[in-house]
Structure 1
Amino acid sequence: MVQRLDRRMLLMTGLGALAAGCALGPEAAATNGADDLQGLLDHRILRQRAANAAVIGVLSPAGRRIYSARRPEADETYPLGDRTIFEIASLTKVFTALLLAAEVVDGRMGLDDPLQDYLPDGVVAPSFEGRAITLTDLATHGAALPLRPNNLANGAADAPDKYAGYTLDDLYRGLPDYRLGYAPGSQFRYSNLGFALLGQAIARREAMSFDAVLRRRVTGPLGLDDTTLSEDPEKARRRARGHDLYLDPVGAGGPSALSPAYGLRSTAHDILRLLDLFLDGRGPSHLRGAARLMLATDRPGDDDTTRMALGWRRTTAHGETYYWSNGSGDGSRCFMGFNPARGVAVVALADAASGGGLDDIGRRVLDPAQEVDAAVVPAPEFVTLPEEMLLRATGRFEYAPDDAFDITRGVTGLVVSSGPIQIVIRPTSPSVYASAMMPGVIFEFDGVEAGPARGLTLHQDGQSFYYRRV
C-alpha cells in the first residue's frame, strides 16, 4: 500500500519523506560516534540547509565526542560547540518527568495521584466517565488533553512566541472547559497542555515556582549550570540565535505557565550529563532511582513501534530498543536519546525550526539500521497573494473518512492540521503551495482562481492523491 501524507505520515516530520535513492542506509557507514557523523552533519547543514548551525554530542564506550557545523554565510559570531546554548523546546518534558519521578521516589507525590489533588480550590479537572486524569497520564501524553490550551491569545501553529504571557490564571480558568473523548491512560495524544499542568502541579506541591523546584531537585544536583528557564545576560554571548523555517532570525521565547512543556535552554554538555544519568547511572541517588522509575512505566505510544515511559518514548525497531525525545521551537529543533544495550547516547541541537532537524541522524547513532535522508531539495520560491486568494485554500479536505486535512489561516501562511500534527504551507503560485517543513511535498488546489478550492491534489514521492472539499 502506498503511504500518503495523511495524519500518519504527518508524524514522519523529517526533512521530507525519504525518496528512493535519496536515503543513506546502514551500509553507507557505521555512525555510532564514527567520523562519518561529521559528514552527515555537514551535509545536513551546508547542503540541505536545515539550519544555520548545529551541534551533536555522543556518549559511547569509546568516550565523548562533539561535532558541529555552521553555514559559512551565516551572520553569527557566537562560539559553536558543546557549551553553545540552544532553546531545547519539548526536550524540557523529560526534565519535568524526571522531576515528577524524583518527587515520587522521595514519597512526596504518587504516580497515580489525581491531577485534581494539585489544583487550586474551585478548579475542576476534566474526567471521562469517572476516570480521573493522573500524574502518570500527564507524563505519558495519556491525559486525552489537546496539544495547546484553547484560550491562547493566538494559537496558530506559526504564531511567534505563542505562549508568552500565558498565565497560571489562564491555565486554570480554561481547564474545566475541556471534554475528554476517551478514558485517560488508554490512548496517546501529544499535549503541551498536559505537561504544563504536570509541572505546575509539582510546583504547587512544593510551594515554589517550577523554575525553583527544578533547579533544587534536578538541574542543580546534576550540575547542569546552563540548563535554565530564563535568559542569563552573562551567558548571552554563548546563545545560538534562533531561526524560523525560512532561516530568518527570531527572538528568544518568553516564559509562561506552559514553560514546563517547552521552556528550557541548555547545551550539548549539559544534556550529555543528563543522558549519562540514564545510560550509566551517574548522578545523585534520588535521581538514579527516579531515572529507573521513569523507564519502568509502559503506556501507549504514537505508533506501532513506540511506547511511552515517563517523559521518554521507547522505540523498538531493527532489533534495537532505545529511548528518545525531540522538540521544535520557534527557532530550534532538538533530539536526544540513548540505547542502553549499545551503551550509546546522543543529543542533536539545531538553531532553526524545521520538520525534522537532525532527528534521523540522532536515531542513526542509536540504531545503525536507521536511514538518513540525503536528498537535497531546492528551497521553494514563495510568492505573495492577496488575502482573498489565500482564504480560498482554507477548509476541510478529505481523501477517505480516516484521512482528512483541516487547512486554516496562520500568521506566515496556511496551517495544515491532521489531529495534533500541523505543518505550515505557503504559495508558490495562486494554486500551488509548498512547505519548508517538508520539502518536496506539494499541495495543488483545484478551482481557487474562481472561488473556494473544490479540492486539492497532494503530490509526494512521485505519487498524487486527490482530497475533495467536505
Structure 2
Amino acid sequence: MTVTGTSDLDELVRPLLSAAPNATGAAVAALHRGRRTVLVAGFTAQDRVQPITPGTRFEVGSVTKTFTALLLAEMVRRGDVRYDDPIDHYLPPGWRLRRPAPITLEHLATHTSGLPLIPLTTMPRVLRTWFSNPYQALGPDRIRTGLARARLRSTPGSRFHYSNLGVGLLGWLLAEAAGLPFEHLLTDRVLHPLGLTGTGCNPTLQAVGHRRGRPLPPWLIPGLPAAGTLRSTAHDLLNYLAAHLSPHGTPLAAALTDVTRPRIPMADNDHLCLAWFHRVKPDHHLLFHSGGTCGSTAFIGFSPQTGTALVTLINAGVTLRGTFIQRSYDTLRALATLK
C-alpha cells in the first residue's frame, strides 16, 4: 500500500479500501481544508503483478457526465453554444428526434429532456451482454436510429429522468458545434487546461474490471462516449475536485463556478446542477456523482463550504447488494464535518 497524507484523514477514508471484497484493487483520495491524502491497496488484476498506485487508471462510468457538463459550461462561456439552444441547431446530418416540445442543451445536462435511459429499440442488443459490456454494440448508427424512434417520458423541462442517452447526445451536439470528435474536444477544452494528464477515453493501461470476481474486458460505449467513457486516476480526480473547490485562478474558472449552480429542485433540499447532484446540509452543501461500469465503480464528491473532496475507485462493478457508493457518500459527509 502507498500512503501519503495526514492521520485524521487516513483514519476516516482507509476503511473504503476494503469496502468491496470483489475488487483486486482500490484507490481513495481526500482533501480537507488544504490537507491531502491518497491511499491505495491491491493490484490492477488477479495476477497480482502490477500494484495499484495514485496514477492507476480506473473506468469511472457516469462520473464522465460531470466532465461533459463542464465542457458545456466552457463552450457557453466561449460563446460557442447557449444553454437554451434547441438541440435541432446542432443535430448531425441525418439525425432527428420525435418530440412534443423543443429540447435544449440544458435539458440534456440536467436530465430533464424526457429522453429514456437508453433507446428502447437498442435493449435487445444491450441485454445480450448486460453483465460484461452492454453498450459495446451500440455505435453511432444504432444510437441515431434509436433516437429517431424514442418516445419522451415527459415534456422537456418538466421532470427529472436520468438519461445516458440525453448526456450522450449532448456530447454529440457539442462535438458538432465545435467540429471536433468528442474525445478530442474534451481533451482540448477541459482535460489539458486542468492538467489532467492521466484522464482520457483510451481503454488501455487501466485496472482490469471485475464482476463477482470474474475479470472483464475494457468497458466500451462507442455510441454515447459523453455519458460514460472516461478513465481516470485518484490523483487526477482529486485535482479535478480541487479545481471545483477553488476555481479562481484556473483556466476554467467561470465554467467551474457555473456547473455547481443549483438549477433543478428535487426532493427535500436536493437540487440538480449541471450533472452534479446537490444536497443541502445544515452547515454545508454536498455535491457528488457516482459512476459504474460492469467492472468498476467510482464516486466523487465535494463540499465547498468546508474545503472537502473525496474520490473513491475500485475495479469491481456495482451489484444490487453492494454498499460501496453509499459508504463513499457517508464518508464524504463525515469528512465535511471534520474539524
TM-score by length of 1: 0.65
Gaps in structure 1 of 5+ consecutive residues? 1-30, 371-470
Within the candidate set 125, 136, 139, 1:154 is matched to 125
1-structure distance, mates of 2:33, 2:131: 43
Any idea what the Cα deviations from partners look like across 1:234-265, whole Å, max 9, x if unmatched?
xx2xx211101x12110102240211101011
- Any idea what SS the aligned residue of 2:260 has? helix
In the other structure, the counterpart of 1:350 is 314
Partner of 2:16: 41
Post-superposition Cα deviations, 1:132-155, rounded to whole Å, max 9, x if no partner, equal: 111111101111111112233522
Say which structure is richer in strand.
Answer: 1
Does the alignment pair 1:136 with 2:106? yes
Q: Aligned partner of 1:309: which letter?
A: C
CA gap of 1:354–1:121, structure 2 versus 1, over 3 A, is: closer
Q: 5+ residue gaps in structure 2?
A: 1-6
State the alpha-carbon separation in 1 of the partners of residues 149 and 277 from structure 2: 29
CA distance in 2, matches of 1:166, 1:54: 30
Cα distance change of structure 1 residues 194 and 32 upon mapping to structure 2, 3 Å threshold? farther
Show the 5 A alignment for 1:233-272: 236=205, 239-244=206-211, 246-272=212-238
SS in 2 for 1:322: strand
Higher relative contact order (CA 8 A, sep 6+): 2
Cα shift at 1:76: 2.5
Give distance in 2, aligned partners of 1:32 and 1:196. 39
3-state SS of paired residue (2:142): helix
Q: What residue in structure 1 maps to residue 258 of structure 2? A: 293
Task: Give the Cα separation in 1 of the matches to 2:55 and 2:248.
Answer: 20
**3-state SS of paired residue (1:208):** coil
User: Are residue 328 (structure 1) and residue 300 (structure 2) matched?
Assistant: no
The one-letter code of the counterpart of 1:41 is L
RMSD, aligned α-carbons: 2.4
Asked whether the 8 Å contact 2:221–2:229 carries over to 1, the reply is: yes
Q: Contact 1:326–1:359 at 8 Å: present in 2 too? A: yes
Q: Supply the AA of the counterpart residue of 1:290.
A: A
Amino acid at match of 2:134: K
User: Using a 3 Å threshold, how does the CA distance of structure 1 residues 193 and 74 change in structure 2: closer, same or farther?
Assistant: same
From 301, 318, 334, the equivalent of 1:368 is 334
**Following the alignment from structure 1 to structure 2, what is the Cα–Cα distance between the partners of residues 132 and 163?**
27
* CA contact 2:168–2:227 (8 Å) conserved in 1: yes
Q: Distance between the aligned counterparts of 1:310 and 1:62, measured in 2?
A: 26
1:273 maps to which residue? 239
Q: Which runs of 4+ in 1 moved over 4 A?
A: none
Matched, 1:181 2:153: yes
Q: Highest CA radius of gyration, 1 or 2?
A: 1
Quote the sequence identity (%).
33
Quote the Cα distance in structure 2 between the aligned partners of 1:91 and 1:324. 9
- Following the alignment from structure 2 to structure 1, what is the Cα–Cα distance between the partners of residues 332 and 182? 32
Between the aligned partners of 1:327 and 1:299, the Cα distance in structure 2 is: 21
Quickly say closer, same or farther: Cα 1:254–1:369, change in 2 above 3 A: closer
Aligned to 1:327, the other structure's residue is in SS state strand
Q: Secondary structure at the match of 1:155?
A: helix
Cα pair 2:10 2:37 within 8 Å, conserved: no
Q: How is 1:372-411 mapped onto 2 (pairs within 5 angstroms)?
A: none
Instruction: Give the one of 185, 188, 197 matched to 1:216.
Output: 188
Task: Provide the C-alpha distance between the structure 2 equivalents of 1:74 and 1:283, rounded to a whole number of angstroms.
Answer: 42
Give 3-state SS (helix, strand or coil) of 1:202's partner: helix
Residues 318 and 369, structure 1, Cα contact 8 Å, conserved in 2: no
Equivalents in 1 of 2:174, 2:185: separation in Å?
Answer: 8
How many Å separate the matches in 2 of 1:284 and 1:109? 21
- Matched residues in 2 for 1:77 and 1:140: separation? 42
Structure 1 residue 68, shift from structure 2 partner? 2.1
- What code does the residue aligned with 1:262 have? G
The structure 1 residue matched to 2:169, chosen from 197, 220, 226, is 197
Assess, with a 3 A threshold, how the Cα gap between structure 1 residues 51 and 317 changes in structure 2: closer, same or farther.
Answer: farther
